[in-house]
Amino acid sequence: MTLRIGVIGTGTIGQDHIRRCSHALVGSTVVAVNDINQEQAAKVVQQQGIEAEVYARGHDLIKAPEVDAILVTSWGPSHEEFVLSAIAAGKPVFCEKPLAVTAEGCRKIVEAEMAHGKRLVQVGFMRPYDQGYRALKAVIDSDKIGEPLMIHAAHRNPTVGESYTTEMAIVDTLIHEINVFSWLLDDQYVSAQVIYPRKTSQAFAHLKDPQIVLLETAKGTRIDVEVFVNCQYGYDIQCEVVGERGIAKLPEPSSVQMRSGAKLSTEILMDWKQRFIDAYDVELQAFIDGIKADKITGPSSWDGYTAAVTADACVAAQRSGAIEPIRLPQRPAFYE
Ligand code: NAD
Ligand code: ISE
């Protein structure tokens, strides 16, 4: 059976996911698209050479009988209403991060999904599907470096546009580390603090960049993440886990080593699309396969909710300069 997918939001990542589901992955086809910019949605259909109907309203696309499952790749503030609408229609939905822009919105989705009685939602946290992070987790789980004591990490983007705000360093960027480290350590966060180093001259005046986020987990592991979104030189994701008996580092993406012009060098990627290209493929294939097996297993609404609660505490810490507590409720059995 070929899964018939409807995509809401045909911007950067929407186009990339449409390409995946139409041309790269197994067992899916894109039959419907929607964007507030209808002209753009129609252009994407044409450019990608797919036979998909362009819907004027996202909610109509969700209800359409020819749509089996939905991808939500529109702007963050619109995610909540579309995910809730998909749950109401009883259809599986893959939602890009963030699941909703408030913890309250995520909580509503959790409640609606639990009331439905079966998992329908997968959140687009792709890092747990990245080969490098999976290898790192295997090392931690094997106990080769002992219990993890600290993580030193960096999330660097070359540049960001003028609309990117200080808060987005948390809710748009750090949110990936928030998700992946709780998965990596099988632990949850208890406090957050944010420190501002000297500001780069390469950032817009309104943006505090870089930032250092300090997280503490329930088991006592300390995490420092440098978020630096105007680092200029590349898209660079670093992660080093310090354990009781050794250190494990996230592998660099593979790159040809060159000897040329009196230099030994390897290239650094410039954007997230390339850095996590395989992880995006694997996460969406898992979503498609999960629907067919009647068991969605990827990052859940609960993961989206706990990430939002943690992000809220980080934003509070940005503003207060203090160590802010993170109070996460017990994971319901539904999400075990
Ligand atoms: P984008 O601005 O390129 O595209 C968003 C699209 O959504 C635009 O075409 C816009 O017109 C459309 N849109 C906005 N509101 C809408 C609505 N109510 N109904 C229908 N369409 C609507 O943004 P993007 O970079 O593609 O990001 C989209 C989402 O994906 C964001 O939530 C972002 O955080 C997430 N994202 C995730 C990753 C990742 O690594 N997982 C990477 C990039 C973006
Ligand atoms: C973007 O939205 C993403 O999700 C990327 O993975 C991240 O690196 C970037 O900072 C965000 O803006």
Q: How far apart are alpha carbons 110 and 336 in whole angstroms?
A: 13
Are both 190 and 330 inside the same structural domain? yes
Q: What is the pLDDT of residues 156-175, one digit of tens each?
A: 999 999 999 999 999 999 99
What ligand is nearest to the CA atom of residue 279? Answer: 1
Banded pLDDT at 90 (limits 50, 70, 90):
very high
CB 287 within 8 A of CB 124: no
Are both 175 and 319 inside the same structural domain? yes
Q: What is the pLDDT of residues 202-252, one digit of tens each?
A: 999 999 999 999 999 999 999 999 999 999 999 999 999 999 999 999 999
Amino acid in the structure at residue 276:
F
Q: How far apart are alpha carbons 275 and 173 in whole angstroms?
A: 14
Q: How far apart are alpha carbons 175 and 123 in whole angstroms?
A: 12
SS3 166: coil
What mean pLDDT comes out for the span 268-289?
Answer: 97
Q: Report the separation in Å between the CA atom of 321 and the middle of ligand 1, taken as the mean of its atom positions.
A: 31
Range of the domain at 63: 3-124
Banded pLDDT at 112 (limits 50, 70, 90):
very high
Averaged confidence pLDDT in the chain: 97
Q: Report the separation in Å between the CA atom of 173 and the middle of ligand 2, taken as the mean of its atom positions.
A: 5
Q: Report the separation in Å between the CA atom of 13 and the middle of ligand 2, taken as the mean of its atom positions.
A: 10
Q: Report the separation in Å between the CA atom of 35 and the middle of ligand 1, taken as the mean of its atom positions.
A: 10
Closest residue to atom 11 of ligand 2, CA basis: 173
162-200 in b/e form (b: 16+ CB < 10 A) is eebebebbbbbbbbbbbbbbbebbebbbbbbbbeeeeee
Q: How many domains does the chain have?
A: 2
Are both 174 and 42 inside the same structural domain? no
Are both 65 and 106 inside the same structural domain? yes
Q: How far apart are alpha carbons 59 and 32 in whole angstroms?
A: 12
Q: At what angle do helices 131-141 and 175-185 cross, to 10 degrees?
A: 30
Are both 313 and 178 inside the same structural domain? yes
SS3 249: strand
Are both 158 and 247 inside the same structural domain? yes
What ligand is nearest to the CA atom of residue 156? Answer: 2
What mean pLDDT comes out for the span 100-128?
Answer: 97
Residue 140 makes CB contacts below 8 A (sequence gap 6+) with 148, 184, 185, 241, 243, 248
User: What's the CATH code of the domain at 78?
Assistant: 3.40.50.720
User: What's the CATH code of the domain at 315?
Assistant: 3.30.360.10
CB 52 within 8 A of CB 33: yes
CB-defined site of ligand 1, < 6 Å:
8-14, 34-37, 40, 58, 73-76, 78, 96-97, 124, 126, 172, 272
Are both 314 and 201 inside the same structural domain? yes
Q: What is the pLDDT of residues 248-267, one digit of tens each?
A: 999 999 999 999 999 999 99
Are both 156 and 198 inside the same structural domain? yes
Q: Is the pTM of this model over 0.95?
A: yes
- The atom number, within ligand 1, closest to the CA of 76 reads 32
CB 97 within 8 A of CB 125: yes
Q: Does 307 have pLDDT greater than 90?
A: yes
Q: Report the separation in Å between the CA atom of 13 and the middle of ligand 1, taken as the mean of its atom positions.
A: 7
Residue 260 makes CB contacts below 8 A (sequence gap 6+) with none
What mean pLDDT comes out for the span 88-115?
Answer: 97
Q: What is the pLDDT of residues 181-207, one digit of tens each?
A: 999 999 999 999 999 999 999 999 999
- The atom number, within ligand 1, closest to the CA of 16 reads 26
Q: What is residue 153's predicted lDDT score, i.e. its pLDDT?
A: 98
- The atom number, within ligand 2, closest to the CA of 155 reads 8
Is 117 part of a structural domain of the chain?
Answer: yes
Are both 167 and 101 inside the same structural domain? no
What ligand is nearest to the CA atom of residue 80? Answer: 1
Is 272 part of a structural domain of the chain?
Answer: no
Q: What is the pLDDT of residues 45-82, one digit of tens each?
A: 999 999 999 999 999 999 999 999 999 999 999 999 99
CB 266 within 8 A of CB 258: yes
Q: Report the separation in Å between the CA atom of 264 and the middle of ligand 2, taken as the mean of its atom positions.
A: 30
CB-defined site of ligand 2, < 6 Å:
157, 172-173, 176, 272
Q: What is residue 1's predicted lDDT score, i.e. its pLDDT?
A: 86
